[in-house]
Structure 1
Amino acid sequence: MRSRWISAITADESTIPLLHPSSSSLFLVNLLPRPVSSRSSSSAAAAAAAAAVRETRTPETPTPDSHLLSRLSSILSRRHWRRSRALKRLGPCLNPLHIAELLRTRPLDPETALAFFQWVGQRPGYCHTVDSYASLLGNLLRSKSPVNAEKIIVSMVKSCISAKDMRSAINSIRAFRRTGGPADFRPSLRCYHMLLRSFERFSMTDEMKDLYEQIVKDWILPDIITCNTIIKAYCKEGNIAEAKQYLRYLLEAGLKPDTFTYNSLILGYCKNNDLDRACWVFVMMPQMGCQRNEFSYAILVHGLCEACRIDRAFVLFSKMGDDGCCPNVHTYTVMIDGLCKEGKVEYAESLLNEISGRGLVPSTVTYNALVDGYCKSRKTEAALRIMKLMESKRCKPDAWTYSMMIHGLSKENHLEDAEAMLNEAIEKDSFPNVFAYTGLIDGYCKQGKFVDACRIMKLMELNGCKPDVWTYTTMIDSLCKDNRLHDAKSMLNEMFEKGLDPNVVTYTALIDGYCKRGHVDAALEIVELMESNGCQPNAWTYNELIYGFCQERTVHKAMALLSRMLESGLSPGLITYTALIHGQCKEGDIDSAFRLLDSMEVNGLVPDQQTYSTIIDALCKGGRIEESYSLFKSVTEKEVRANKVMYTALIDGLCKAGKLDSAHSLLEEMVSKDCLPDSYTYSVLINGLCKENKLQEAILLLNDMFERGIEPTNVTYTILIDEMLKKGDCEDAKRMLEQMVSSGCKPNAITYTVFIRAYCSKGRVEEAENVMLEMKKGGVRPDLMTYSTLIDGCGNIGFIDRAFSVLKDMMDDACEPDYWTYSVLLKHLIKRKQVNSVLANMSDLWKMLEIDTILELLQEMMKHSCTPNVVTYNALISGFCKECRLEEAYMLLSHMKERGISPNQGIYTCLINCCCKVKRYSEASTFIGSMVECGYLPHLESYRLLLSGLCDEGNFEMAKMLFGDSLDRGYNCDEVAWKILIDGLLKNGYINICSEMLSIMEERHCSPSSQTYAMIARDIRELINEPLIEIEG
């Protein structure tokens, strides 16, 4: 084991030169001392040195006041300048820039320059900079006086506060040695060590490497400190390979690694998360002759805690005494922080007590670790106790203490306490950070208190804490969830105005907001904006867009996004596939949902309860109860626990199929499997009983809910109220409504609508209108069904004008009428003209409807200030298309175009499908072309109907041409194969043309997946054994 470890850290070469300088380095060449021909430097060299020193000055630095410098130079030219009152008056005005310029440009003798430099450096609040030290070196160099260069260099390096300062200091040293320093000047090893430590402080490992080689060039033998400093620097970066290089130098120089060396290696391995090697070095230290110290333990304990291996860290912490080591405050703090991150906060607090028991003084960082731990565990009272404890121990809470407390209180919705803590922090000048403000803003946003959130945001800026990307993202996300999309978009614009770059989370929050509200086009605009700003969508972004398209029943667009997602190198996850499966089910394409289920399993994803619930529910809603039950059984065999959604979907399906006994049995099975039914489960069963006219049994089931401690929802109550109203039990329905309200359950739009429908069915329209007013006063917005029901009620008693007034209210309320609403209005317009007309259903309406009645509807709408729009024409055209009345649909299309209204995607889809149904394929093809020109993506169902129809007519060439065109539209290749080739051509027996189209897909680099190829092959094999209907010329 020991030899293996040695070989691991000395691998690569068997023999390595002791000092391994690189062949060339501008830094080294410039630092090399140049030979001089005489005791003193030439005037040219001095001038060059001064110029080189001037180069270190930042170009944009303003030139100090020349008048002030002249006065200062005049004062210093006097013999007793220290006694000058004028100098004392000027002293407070002087800064390092003045001193640098004075020494660089004014003729001061070296003794005066050095004395003045020391005098001004002792003034309160004044600190020399690299530039002022460099100017002093230049002044002394010009005067050719003896220079204690090393002392000045050491002071200059100590003044560095950044990597930029260090580079400036090195440039000055380089200039000094290159252009005029004493011939024998060579920094000592002590000076080089100080430089190395400074480089290490600013993580300047490249410069350390150059400096090591300069040490070699100066014929100075590096010692253990030299190598250890460089090894530690590389290990801090996790660069073990470079650290080992210097370890080899150390070993070949005959030096022996010490505890510091091994501690550095442990640190390096920890930085690389290579804990096994870190532990190995730790274990081997005694065998290497090195005693482990407190730092050995502290480094490894910290590494183990960072890697969430808290138990091992604590074991190691407990064994410190075995090596005679006592944990210091830092080690305790690391352990406390690790325990807190694991949620073991009480145990961490016992370590805090142990610190005090050992006579150690916990630091602010120690207390902060506990405060943070309690806050994250949602125990803010305990966190406040720790905060008070630290104050009692005279340990002042800092900005982080307050920030964590404010954030923790905000998370627990103690917003008043959080804001009081914020004000306290400001009063004590412990200004909270952006983390604290954002936490409080988030708290107010989640409670819908956006005015307070904006107030805190302004307070934040007044206190010099600028809102960052996460602050704005928090606001945008909350505004979107509150449906305040306009305000959210304004907040995004404000970010741009303030020079902040939104990240993918910011953009996706807004995209999510738009998609959840059905504004997918607006969401796509945000995607274009984010991409134009160099921010690429991630999997979450795609998931939200896919969800949005599926919600608006355009799953073909969602599937196209799946292709784009894969092209972007992103892997679709469980959420992606489940959303797509839901979209396919929503459009009634359960076969494609099953295909997606197969795809996700092939791609190594395991469907979860939600995935299966979606398909089971869709099968039940489609009346395919046996298939849904079969899937349900297979799911439980796959060790996926059946949940209440699956059971409820099956119970609902059985109820709709009139199998109430089976539904009850399934409810009992559900309870026996420890899957407790919820209010929705009971609601579907109560609904099933009501449909079978078993109201009393339904009420008994409601009582059973109460006994089981399950609170009915407004859906449950509304089902019962509706059934009572249908039976004419208006008083019972009102009592049930009172019971509903008294239980704290607020009526929804459907609850009010069933009362409106009941009143309208009895001709009591005024009472129905009163219900509508009561509904609005209660803050419940009437929906499509509410308005359509009231319109129908008005029409039934011949109040056509009042019906159109309700339509006006509906449109003013941004509630778009649909096919059903317009059908109701048309029904009553027909009745007005044909008093004795009887319509069995709406299908009969569209079969007998004359175009004149449609024009009358449009005129009445205009008369009542209900301007017909594209949605109006969509509903009317779809009505005619459903009954294959294409000519009337064309007339309406012309009418809308004359009014300057362009067809939307829905109108084109209706017309294409209708053309296919009446076998006018050429016209359907023209509509597809027009649709694409308008920027719409035709449904694959439309292509399926068209291509199958063309094949039925034997027009295979036209079919292949249109199919080829469709492949340029960006559809998902698998979905094209599923819906056109498998569900279209193969189901109609067109094997050869299907094979040809598959070849076209391959030629266009649009090949389906291997599992889709397998589906096609399987279907072809099945068809080969059956008579073919394919007709090919």
Structure 2
Amino acid sequence: MSTSLTTTHLLALLRRNAASPAVALRLFLHLTSASAPPAPRSTSFVSRLLADHPSSHALLPSLLRHLLSFPDPSLHLLALLSSLPRLPLVFSLSAFRSLRALPSAPPPPTPVYNRLLLAALQNSRFDLIESLYKDLLLSGATPDVFTRNLLLQALCAAGRMELARMVFDAMPAKNEFSFGILARGYCHVGRSTDALGVLDAMPRMNLVVCNTVVAGFCREGLVDEAQRLVERMRDQGLAPNVVTFNSRISALCKAGRVLDAYRIFNDMQENWERGLPRPDQVTFDVMLSGFCDAGMVDEARVLVDIMRCGGFLRQVESYNRWLSGLVRNGMVGEAQELLREMSHEGVQPNRYTYNIIVDGLCKEGKAFDVRKAEDFVKSGVMTPDVVTYTSLLHAYCSKGNTTAANRILDEMSRKGCALNSFTYNVLLQSLWKAGRITEAEQLLERMSEKGHSLDTASCNIIIDGLCRNNKLDMAMDIVDGMWNEGSLALGRLGNSFLTLTSDSSSNKRCLPDRITYSTVMRALCKEGMFDEAKKKLLEMIGKDISPDSVIYNTFIHGYCTHGKIYMAVKVLRDMDKKGCKPSTRTYNLLIWGFQQRHKSDEILKLMNEMKENGICPNVMTYNSLIKSFCEQGMVNKALPLLDEMLQNEIVPNVTSFDLLIKAFCKTTDFSAAQRLFDASLSTCGQKEVLYSLMCTQLSTYGRWMEAKNILETAIELRVSIQRFPYKRIIDGLCKVDEVDHAHRLLKLLMVKGYSFDPVAFMPVIDALSERGKKQDIDMLSEKMMEMAGRDDDLAAPSGEFKPRSQEHGQDKYVEGHWRALLHRDDSAHTILKITKRVKTGWGQRGNVYTHKQQQNDDIYILENTG
């Protein structure tokens, strides 16, 4: 039988068993041998068959061993490597090294290197890309444009822009992808001006690269530069498309400039006759996420209504964005209502939808909500996955409930839901951050048993935990060791770490990155160890990891915290020299430092500098200046800043109004404070915190009637009064002989169904007692006894209310609990009279005391103490 016929028959047999790769491999191993090797295309076919079925990847090593038994396996190894990048990277590297180890084998061709480089890039193995590229050059193969583009992409992804530029400049031939890769790399590290230079060097403008640079400018707050580039595109006949506008809107939203983004969005809606593209699904979705991320829920709600009318709220992805926004802004109940709406509208929720709800319930802040989340998962509406369980595990670990966390882990094992590295890292971070080192080590042992090894993210979590637990020396020692030992550097922390770092192939992946150095430098700066922090910065640069604005901000914040404000200014100047553009946060940190030292003139200088450099101030910038003016008693200078903010399309927040209202109340200009309060409601919405703020300020300065009016409005709006000084107001009204108003306020609270501290009754009862109002006293006494007999954790209509608040403990009738009055001499006489009246069934109301004693035996204390 001829070789070609044998090959034909073999391929026919393999194709016939293609549905069962294991059977196909057995046939291949049985029908081929060192004495009768197959044609390379048969090897290529069976390797692709195994590569396309992940469940068959475990069979690949036996195929490799069989191929290496042939007299000349080089052609077969090349055929095997042609299956990249579908093969697992670890196996591909093993096959490649076997090929390179053959003494007589020719060097692999460039396409094989390209496939390996692409697989390494997809796995973020930047260190491997560099070594492969060097091996390619040593082998005598010639890199092509695609090869160099892969190297360029890897360097940009690692933030090594100087080296990337050198590679780009040395390329003998470039295509549009080369320019696009470098421009995107510059934009990624906040150097959009350099990206514009790359665009200028292109033989002709490219729409994709233009959109990349436009988005980069917007992310950095360089709106004017972005607009100029868009106009330049038009001038050169390159019409900006909807992707251009979506890039601008997305970048502006990510930079916190949501109002600027909305202006562009609005132009697309209203000025399309001027040639602007109409908003598409992506535009609406990006704008919705922008509103939600900025906490502008009312604006997002209006946009959702527009999307409903325009048919843009029909995809599950759009609903998920709105659900996520509601959850992030603490509106889990409304999110659950929206989930029901989806079913009504025929939009099928996906797993991500349900995970949003689970994550929201887990992050509500109460153990009860975590249990609700678990009940939701078990209700059968969803099939939990690793993301679902990760949310539950993180919630239980953050609350210290390791018993529940272990129960979830066991449930995952029972249901065959394997934990991934991300889940383990979430758990590790929760435990390590809480200082639960022993439990963290137990988790590491469990990781080892399941075959998981540590990665750079795991190492960063452990280094951060060491820094938080004042073990800086150990953290820095581990960072030094990671360069040579990888994750083995963690072995010095104990055997539980050493067992996770036994695989030498994975150790090299655990190299320090920008986050590693940022973590250590933040801890050093926090401790005032700036010389050591500078050494780490130089080491980082020496390792070709370029610092970004976050690193410089770490130094600025550290210097400001330790009162070295002018050293912080020097860091800002160094950023300009190093080509790292400062961000709004950079300036905000410096402004905060000057605000701490009441240097309002310096703040104004920095704000002017921001505007000159095209960096837009945000609400935090203005709040720092407002606070500085208010603390210096210059409230009249602070007030105009609100108008300036609005002119710059920056919406003042609650903090802005909080600072000004308190400042005007301090100067006893209550009419101005009232006007600001009214403006705050229009700007920020009817927020509980605003009513509480105004009410507290008025009561602090004895403006009892005005405080009472604000409180009554809040009660009518059904907001929680947990943070309101309602007891102080009632007591204050009684002191100024406004007992009727205090009495009406109590009645309103009861009518609206609020649960509140029974001690609030006492000032009114005392005042009415002096007036001889027996019937009113009887009614209030009965209500007080009834309320005191209830459970302390009753909920008000607007949310949970805790009557044991100590916020106003300095007032006569304000202690943590109403029963504390039993120990006060000034109230003993009144309490004794109330007890006796209630016991004898005052006013034909029956023996309330006897009835209440059956419900709550604590009332018996009242009689004995009296």
TM-score by length of 2: 0.52
Displacement after TM superposition at 1:316 (Å): 1.4
Q: Does 1:271 align with 2:157?
A: yes
Distance 1:163 1:537 in 2: 36
Distance 1:211 1:271, change over 3 A: same
Distance 1:201 1:386, change over 3 A: farther
Q: Say whether the 8 Å CA contact 1:267–1:299 is kept in structure 2.
A: yes
Q: Which residue of 2 aligns with 1:636?
A: 598
Deviations 1:206-259 (A, max 9, x none): 533433433552732115514555456556656565555455544444555555
Distance 1:269 1:564, change over 3 A: closer
The one-letter amino acid of 2:661's match is S
Q: Which residue of 1 aligns with 2:41?
A: 151
Displacement after TM superposition at 1:466 (Å): 3.7
Deviations 1:954-981 (A, max 9, x none): xxxxxxxxxxxxxxxxxxxxxxxxxxxx
Distance 1:230 1:467 in 2: 37
Distance 1:407 1:291 in 2: 41
Distance 1:535 1:741, change over 3 A: same
Deviations 1:188-216 (A, max 9, x none): 3xx65554353345561553343343355
Distance 1:605 1:869, change over 3 A: farther
Q: Which residue of 2 aligns with 1:465?
A: 351
Q: Which residue of 1 aligns with 2:572?
A: none
Q: Say whether the 8 Å CA contact 2:839–2:849 is kept in structure 1.
A: yes
Distance 2:812 2:558 in 1: 43
- Based on CA coordinates, which of the two structures has the bigger radius of gyration? 1
**Aligned to 1:788, which of 735, 739, 762?**
762
Deviations 1:450-505 (A, max 9, x none): 5524426868994433446554233444x55xxx8745641255458846567998
Q: Say whether the 8 Å CA contact 2:120–2:128 is kept in structure 1.
A: yes
Q: Say whether the 8 Å CA contact 2:61–2:91 is kept in structure 1.
A: no
Distance 1:332 1:563 in 2: 44
Deviations 1:834-857 (A, max 9, x none): xxxxxxxx97649x9999999989
TM-score by length of 1: 0.45
Q: Which residue of 2 aligns with 1:452?
A: 337
Q: Say whether the 8 Å CA contact 2:217–2:223 is kept in structure 1.
A: yes
Q: Does 1:681 align with 2:663?
A: yes
Q: Does 1:865 align with 2:852?
A: yes
Q: How does 1:1010-1029 map to 2 (within 5 A)?
A: none
Q: How does 1:75-224 map to 2 (within 5 A)?
A: 130-131=21-22, 134=25, 137=28, 149-159=39-49, 164=54, 167=57, 170-171=60-61, 173-174=63-64, 177=67, 186=73, 188=75, 192-193=77-78, 195-200=80-85, 204-205=89-90, 207-214=92-99, 216-217=101-102, 219-224=104-109
Distance 2:662 2:244 in 1: 50
Does the residue aligned with 1:152 lie in a helix, a strand or coil?
Answer: helix
Q: Say whether the 8 Å CA contact 1:422–1:432 is kept in structure 2.
A: no
Unpaired runs of 5+ residues, structure 1, are: 1-38, 42-108, 122-126, 512-522, 543-561, 578-600, 609-631, 652-665, 687-700, 727-732, 830-841, 877-891, 897-1033
Q: Does 1:310 align with 2:284?
A: no
The one-letter amino acid of 1:319's match is A
Distance 2:557 2:231 in 1: 55
Distance 1:307 1:564 in 2: 26
**Aligned to 1:372, which of 241, 250, 253?**
250
**Aligned to 2:173, which of 291, 297, 311?**
291
Distance 1:469 1:344, change over 3 A: farther
Q: Which residue of 2 aligns with 1:1008?
A: none
Distance 1:759 1:492, change over 3 A: same
Q: Say whether the 8 Å CA contact 1:235–1:268 is kept in structure 2.
A: yes
Deviations 1:713-759 (A, max 9, x none): 87778988999999xxxxxx6999599979x9999876797578757
Distance 1:205 1:636 in 2: 59
Q: Say whether the 8 Å CA contact 1:157–1:166 is kept in structure 2.
A: no
Does the residue aligned with 2:81 lie in a helix, a strand or coil?
Answer: helix
Distance 1:751 1:453 in 2: 35
Q: Does 1:807 align with 2:784?
A: yes
Q: How does 1:569-584 map to 2 (within 5 A)?
A: none
Q: Say whether the 8 Å CA contact 2:739–2:768 is kept in structure 1.
A: no
Q: Which residue of 1 aligns with 2:561?
A: 606
Unpaired runs of 5+ residues, structure 2, are: 410-426, 436-464, 473-518, 528-555, 564-593, 604-623, 643-655, 681-689, 793-802, 841-847
Q: Which residue of 1 aligns with 2:512?
A: none
Distance 2:820 2:304 in 1: 61
The one-letter amino acid of 1:636's match is H
Q: Which residue of 2 aligns with 1:282?
A: 168
Deviations 1:686-720 (A, max 9, x none): 3xxxxxxxxxxxxxx44566789986987778988
Q: Say whether the 8 Å CA contact 1:205–1:233 is kept in structure 2.
A: no
Distance 1:708 1:461, change over 3 A: closer
Distance 2:762 2:467 in 1: 41
Does the residue aligned with 2:784 lie in a helix, a strand or coil?
Answer: helix
Q: Say whether the 8 Å CA contact 1:469–1:502 is kept in structure 2.
A: yes
Distance 1:346 1:172, change over 3 A: farther
Q: Say whether the 8 Å CA contact 2:44–2:79 is kept in structure 1.
A: yes
What is the RMSD of the two structures over their aligned residues, measured on CA atoms? Answer: 6.9
Displacement after TM superposition at 1:864 (Å): 6.8
Q: Say whether the 8 Å CA contact 1:409–1:415 is kept in structure 2.
A: no
Deviations 1:241-290 (A, max 9, x none): 555545554444455555555444333332332222222232344xxxx3
Q: How does 1:130-529 map to 2 (within 5 A)?
A: 130-131=21-22, 134=25, 137=28, 149-159=39-49, 164=54, 167=57, 170-171=60-61, 173-174=63-64, 177=67, 186=73, 188=75, 192-193=77-78, 195-200=80-85, 204-205=89-90, 207-214=92-99, 216-217=101-102, 219-225=104-110, 226-227=112-113, 229-230=115-116, 233-234=119-120, 242-243=128-129, 245-254=131-140, 259-285=145-171, 290-321=172-203, 326=204, 331-332=209-210, 334-342=212-220, 369=247, 372-373=250-251, 376=254, 377-378=257-258, 379=261, 382=264, 404=286, 407-408=289-290, 413-415=299-301, 417-418=303-304, 421=307, 432=317, 436=321, 438-439=323-324, 441-442=326-327, 446=331, 449-455=334-340, 462-467=348-353, 470-477=356-363, 479=364, 486-487=368-369, 489-494=371-376, 498=384, 526=401
Does the residue aligned with 1:291 lie in a helix, a strand or coil?
Answer: coil
Q: Say whether the 8 Å CA contact 1:279–1:300 is kept in structure 2.
A: yes
The one-letter amino acid of 1:793's match is A
Q: How does 1:838-849 map to 2 (within 5 A)?
A: 845=826
Displacement after TM superposition at 1:304 (Å): 1.7
Q: Say whether the 8 Å CA contact 1:200–1:208 is kept in structure 2.
A: no
Does the residue aligned with 2:852 lie in a helix, a strand or coil?
Answer: coil
